[in-house]
Structure 1
Amino acid sequence: MDKDYLFNMCVESMTDYLSEICQTQKEFDEQFDKYFTEDFLTKMYKLLINSVPGKVFSFWLDECSKYYKEDQEENFNFQEYLENIWGHGFELSNLLYSVILDELDSYSRRLETEHKDDLPGNKYKCKVLQLLANRNLQTYASILCLMQNGFGDQAFMLFRNMFENSIFSKFIFESNEQTAKAFYEAQNKDIKSKDDFSWVRYSNKFDKNERISFKKIFEKCKFEKNYADIWYGQYKLACKLLHTTPQGTSKTLCSNPTADEMFSLVGQSPFGLNLAGEHSAIILEESTRNYLCLFYDEKSLVFTVAIHKWIGEIRNVYYEITKKFEEDTDNLKQSK
């Protein structure tokens, strides 16, 4: 864009006008010098400031449908491109969503018949674990939608929420009924309340005046050390991406791994979808298992074993796709 947008617009407008009414170049120059005064420019600037934004707005309004259709067509073509690369992974992820949705519904109905004698002493724990499992499944669906549209960073940001849901689910699963009841009843607290973790005190796992954080809740859960170190590190990576940190602002999971320069991504990318695809599937399995294992039955046992095997297949497929895609991209770069 020119340095002085409005000034150039004034000159162009006056040039067009004088070109129409002047017969000779001499007449044009005389008229130009006559009109081109400070008072004239001031008036023109005010006129343009008042009229140009309205014209721009009208142009956008007229062209809105055209731009939308063009963007939709471009997005459709990009989704086809993504399908050619990641399609098998998307298929496995989508089936995971569908079968867990069906099993959560089936298990909830079985609770009312096959486990009705177990419910009275676990009413709140059952309800909260169900809510957290449902919430994670819904978030997982959102992650799949973002992945299928080439938004790997945003998909991984949502993994952060899934991880927190899963940790709360495990903490409540391992705690008493009073903890679950406190969590459930906290939904009615003032949204401006600063103590979002007051419910965990009913677990008797924290000192009376101890300051509670998500990390402390995480540390109270029973994990193997290697598991805890790896997954909390991945959680912090997602936090860096989500929050306005120097790393999250200037770096992206979705850059071409063979690219030399750093850039800030705006738009869709075929890179970096594997991390959200793998991690969210693993965490979805855990929050689902916490709910299904509250009252074990044979159907739940068969389902959890099968799902664990399916998660392994998802991880293998995303790994192989990523490896092949990066190799193809690297070979393409070297051939140029």
Structure 2
Amino acid sequence: MKIMVTGGSGFIGSAVCRHLVLDLGHSVVNVDKMTYAATPGSTEMLAANPDYRFHRLDICDRDAMLGVMQMEGIEAIMHLAAESHVDRSIDGPGAFVETNILGTFSLLQAARGYFQLLPDDRRARFRFHHISTDEVFGELPLGEGLFTETTPYRPSSPYSASKAASDHLVMAWHHTYGLPVVLSNCSNNYGPYQFPEKLIPLMILNGLDERPLPVYGTGENVRDWLHVEDHARALALVLLKGRTGQSYNVGGHNERSNLAVVETIADLLDEMLPSRAGSRRRLISFVGDRPGHDLRYAIDATKIETELGWKARHSFETGLRETISWYLANRNWWEPLRAARYSGERLGKVSS
């Protein structure tokens, strides 16, 4: 298939592009605005591949989106382009409304116009896959319950509210206009090529530099962690085999408190690159909690596991060790980002 991936130079999007082209042999058209979190190095290994093409465009430009679909003969769309950092959404919610809500609307309208003009055989194969987050469901009590596909939406941050709105738009375009859509909601991702402002890479890089490891509140907030490569496999399955009009939750069955994650990173760094100053747990500091910080997220992935046969391959322990090893071996990727785009103050803000 020829698949258009929006946001394909971001963390999850680039993993999807690599998986579709290198593992599954599909043709990918990456459409990315190249904002701060998009990195060319994440898709560098695809640049010379004849099954990969790149267009630097904004999803809010409806005419440009329709033009790419028509020029490239797109057979499916995977929509990952989004503003995704909760702290940034609190500081500046406007960008989240523009990209996540208005951008999704623009893309849906372009896809609708394109879909209506396709011949019958290509209409039968076409899919629009919207990739979302478990944060749209709000929070769960500690140790009680899991998010399912029927859990009511209760977003609590500007980021999650903007993603919830985009989810509703996608489903409305399916029910009202007959656009063949599938939707997925995932838990927290981690792995190679994750931008340095997110919790796990931030703690790895701060630990390497012997800088503070800031933890919000008491560190009791719990997240379910999903390796990005497991997520990419799940997304491809949802696109290719998922039932139209359905949503699928994708989780790693790896619930950990934020404090436990940071402690594990400190311990692994001590093992892999010992510090003369002693255990890196000494670097852990507790900072004021962020507004509206959800206590716990946890995904029930039964539907995708039973219907599509997907299973996470990475345990959190093995996946985290591999991730730290990747950051140790790929300084040329993250050092320019860290030096050019972040001050010490900004690096004190974390997500999760």
Same topology, TM > 0.5: no
TM range (shorter): under 0.3
TM-score by length of 1: 0.22
Q: Higher strand fraction: Structure 1 or Structure 2? A: 2
TM-score by length of 2: 0.21
Asked which structure has the greater RCO (Cα within 8 Å, sep 6+), the reply is: 1
Larger radius of gyration: 1
